[in-house]
């Protein structure tokens, strides 16, 4: 089922930057994000104020205006602004554009605040665009000092003694440097070069051990090591003179054709290369999860702590999994209310609807939940659904009982009148009574809509009339003593037959419910295995990306003559290779199956351990 396309006519503030320098998440933005259930592709842009960042973001949105461009030297964008639009190339994804306030705003003059805006843009995006003017030289790189300061702003693990910076490339966004008003020729030593080669050349390291060289290399190494990919775009001046003051009003035909072509290439690259935002572990981020992610990071910063990726994933998994259980259970209850017409004719009818609604509810839970490693939340849903079903089942029985009793009272009304008139207390009265009773039972049996308690209610009703029937039998003077004994024995036999039928139906109902619980367990197990396999695949992709980046950087260091630096990376590469190999070969599924079965058996007595184990083995064999 495709999620409804988000509709935002204009950007809204996502993270407000208050006059006293406090960061706040905007509630309107959270409301919009909560309605986005599909993965989000997040593109953030940062850079010095008045460098044309907003224009590029409006181009990505396919609009002339939206993000405030401003036409004066005053910085327009405060905090981080957000615009969610349907992804132009991916129908089941939402493109989230984040425009940040200009760094180095002279009016604000808050360096620490700038650092947090920069860090948040990195933490929240899947593609990070740095926008600057003129050329990539030492001055431009010094303005990007925020990158080397990220080690003080972002932690991967909660451990105090670990060097998290070597892990950044696994979780950081792709890096794109856009150079505006570029007027140089793209050449190096007389040979033409690409924009990417221009950036790589600017990020080359210097040899030497003195402090100035180390400072020169620090930022370059940070950019090379922290981001999994790098890309560069240079842009000509878009227009001349006064036209620059009214960029929002200009048609493409009024702009420099080369600039228009460059902007188009930039947009195509962003649309085609940017992946959905993921959390550590490779978990895809939906709009709702993205909103909670922003709140988690901002709350951490406001508390004076440093955002930690591990802690964020843990906190978010608790929030998301709780919400996933609530949403799935609510769906189950609403659909049962909608689909079940009480009373159902048979228990099979109710169980069939229950199975459908539960399956759909589990799908809803699985789509939203993540990192439910102990299956605490999945088993909570299983238990809640089971308790809810039991309530529906009781209600079904009560409705059936009420319906059957009302029908029998109505059918017995004429007989009651005859009893009151004493018509059965005369010779031949017992025969008349039995004939009338048989007619009632026949009409009752063929009447539709009685539900699952039809025989049980009939048994109770006939049992309540036994004393009356015996009185009429023994008062009937047309029958001999022997005939009365025979008829009494027949009545007892009929009552026992009906009682046996009711008992058999009760046993059959119990068996059906236990079998349904086994079905529920097996379906949940299958969904759990599918989810774990998808999570493992995402983790492997994350590990492979990190490995590719490290190998690429190691080769670049060797090419540039930094053999010792390249050798120092060998430990990181081996560690990643071991980790990836462990993920490929690990098979914790049998333990997970046992865990789920053990917990579920506490509230699903229908689970048979051996059968569960056999089903688990079958699923394991299928997966591997």
pLDDT tens, position by position, 182-195: 999 999 988 999 99
At 18 the pLDDT is: 81
Compute the distance between CA of residue 488 and CA of residue 485 in angstroms, rounded to an integer: 5
**Predicted pLDDT of residue 2:** 46
404 with 462: CB under 8 angstroms? no
Percentage with pLDDT > 70 across the chain: 90
| Mean pLDDT, rounded, of the chain | 89
Asked if 584 and 624 touch (Cβ cutoff 8 Å), the reply is no
Q: Provide the pLDDT confidence category of residue 614 given band limits of 50, 70 and 90.
A: very low
Give the number of domains in the chain.
4
Q: Which tens digit of pLDDT belongs to each residue from 81-105?
A: 999 999 999 999 999 999 998 886 5
Q: Are 93 and 41 in contact (CB under 8 A)?
A: yes
**Predicted local distance difference test score (pLDDT) of residue 1:** 45
Residues facing residue 224 across a β-bridge: none
Q: Are residues 415 and 338 in the same domain?
A: no
pLDDT confidence of 141, banded at 50, 70, 90? Answer: very high
Kindly report the pTM of this predicted structure. 0.84
Q: Which residue, 257, 287, 307, sits at the end of a domain?
A: 307
DSSP assigned state of 242: G
Is 155 found in the same domain as 20?
A: yes
Residue 116 has which token pair? 């947090």
Same-domain status, 295 and 325: no
At residue 106, does pLDDT exceed 90? no
Residues 395, 401: Cα–Cα separation, whole Å: 10
Whether 157 shows a pLDDT value over 90: the answer reads no
Give the pLDDT mean for 301-308.
93
- 417: how many CB neighbours lie within 10 A of its CB? 10
Is 343 found in the same domain as 443? Answer: no
Assign residue 450 the CATH number of its domain. Answer: 1.20.1000.10
Q: Tell me the C-alpha distance between 516 and 424, whole Å.
A: 49
- What whole-number distance in Å separates Cα of residue 434 and Cα of residue 490? 12
**Considering the domain boundaries, does residue 517 fall inside one?**
no
Q: Would residue 2 count as lying in a domain? A: no
pLDDT at position 590 is 63
Is the pLDDT at 124 greater than 90, yes or no? yes
Q: Is the per-residue pLDDT at 291 higher than 80?
A: yes
* 524: in domain: no
Each residue's pLDDT tens digit, 391-438? 999 999 999 999 999 999 999 999 999 999 999 998 999 999 999 999
Task: Look up the domain containing 349 and give its range.
Answer: 319-398
Task: Give the neighbor-by-neighbor strand order of the sheet with 80-86.
Answer: 23-25, 12-17, 80-86, 94-100, 40-47, 127-133, 174-180, 230-234
- pLDDT-derived band at 107 (thresholds 50, 70, 90) equals low
Residue 476 resides in a domain: yes
pLDDT of 245: 67
229-259: per-residue pLDDT in tens? 999 999 999 888 666 666 767 788 888 999 9
Are 390 and 420 in the same domain? no
């Amino acid at each position: 089922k495709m999620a409804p396309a988000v509709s935002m006519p204009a950007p809204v503030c996502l993270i407000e930057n208050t006059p006293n320098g406090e960061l706040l998440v905007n509630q309107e933005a959270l409301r919009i994000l909560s309605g986005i259930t599909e993965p989000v592709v997040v593109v953030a842009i940062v850079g010095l104020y008045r460098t044309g960042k907003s224009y590029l973001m409006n181009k990505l949105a396919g609009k002339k205006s939206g993000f405030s461009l401003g036409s004066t030297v005053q910085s327009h964008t405060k905090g981080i602004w957000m615009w969610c639009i349907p992804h132009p190339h991916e129908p089941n994804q939402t493109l989230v554009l984040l425009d940040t306030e200009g760094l180095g705003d002279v009016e604000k003059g808050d360096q620490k605040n700038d650092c947090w805006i920069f860090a948040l843009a990195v933490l929240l995006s899947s593609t990070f665009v740095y926008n600057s003017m003129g050329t990539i030289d030492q001055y431009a790189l010094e303005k990007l000092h925020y990158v080397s300061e990220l080690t003080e702003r972002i932690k991967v693990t909660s451990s105090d003694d670990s060097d998290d910076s070597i892990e950044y490339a696994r979780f950081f966004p792709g890096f794109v440097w856009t150079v505006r008003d570029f007027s140089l020729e793209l050449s190096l030593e007389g040979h033409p070069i690409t924009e990417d080669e221009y950036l790589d050349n600017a990020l080359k390291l210097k040899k030497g051990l003195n402090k100035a060289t180390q400072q020169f290399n620090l930022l370059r190494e940070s950019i090379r090591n922290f981001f999994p990919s790098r890309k560069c775009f240079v842009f000509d001046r878009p227009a001349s003179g006064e036209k620059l003051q009214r960029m929002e009003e200009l048609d493409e035909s009024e702009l420099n054709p080369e600039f228009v072509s460059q902007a188009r290439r930039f947009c195509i690259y962003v649309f085609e290369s940017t992946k959905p935002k993921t959390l550590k572990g490779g978990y895809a981020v939906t709009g709702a999860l993205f909103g909670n992610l922003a709140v988690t990071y901002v709350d951490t910063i406001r508390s004076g702590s440093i955002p930690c990726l591990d802690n964020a994933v843990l906190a978010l998994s608790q929030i998301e999994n709780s919400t996933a259980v609530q949403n799935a259970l609510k769906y189950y209850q609403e659909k049962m209310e909608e689909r079940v017409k009480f009373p159902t004719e048979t228990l099979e009818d109710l169980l069939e609807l229950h199975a459908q609604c539960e399956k759909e509810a589990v799908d809803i839970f699985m789509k939203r939940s993540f990192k439910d490693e102990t299956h605490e939340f999945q088993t909570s849903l299983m238990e809640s659904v089971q308790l809810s079903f039991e309530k529906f089942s009781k209600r079904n029985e009560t409705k059936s009982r009420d319906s059957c009793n009302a029908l029998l009272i109505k059918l017995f009304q004429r007989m009651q009148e005859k009893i009151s008139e004493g018509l059965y207390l005369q010779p031949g009265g017992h025969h008349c009574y039995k004939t009338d009773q048989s007619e009632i039972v026949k009409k009752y049996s063929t009447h539709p809509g009685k539900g699952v308690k039809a025989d049980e209610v009939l048994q109770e009703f006939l049992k309540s009339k036994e004393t009356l029937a015996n009185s009429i039998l023994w008062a009937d003077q047309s029958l001999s003593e022997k005939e009365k004994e025979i008829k009494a024995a027949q009545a007892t036999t009929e009552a026992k037959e009906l009682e046996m039928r009711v008992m058999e139906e009760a046993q059959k109902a119990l068996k059906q419910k236990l079998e349904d619980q086994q079905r529920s367990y097996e379906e949940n197990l299958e969904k759990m295995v599918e989810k774990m396999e998808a999570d493992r695949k995402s983790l492997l992709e994350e590990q492979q990306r990190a490995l590719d980046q490290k190998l690429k950087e190691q080769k670049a260091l060797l090419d540039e003559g930094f053999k010792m630096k390249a050798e120092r990376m060998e430990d990181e590469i081996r560690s990643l290779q071991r980790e990836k190999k462990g993920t490929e070969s690990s098979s914790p599924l049998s333990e997970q199956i046992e865990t789920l079965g053990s917990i579920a058996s506490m509230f699903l007595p229908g689970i048979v351990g051996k059968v569960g184990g056999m089903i688990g083995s079958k699923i394991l064999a299928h997966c591997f």
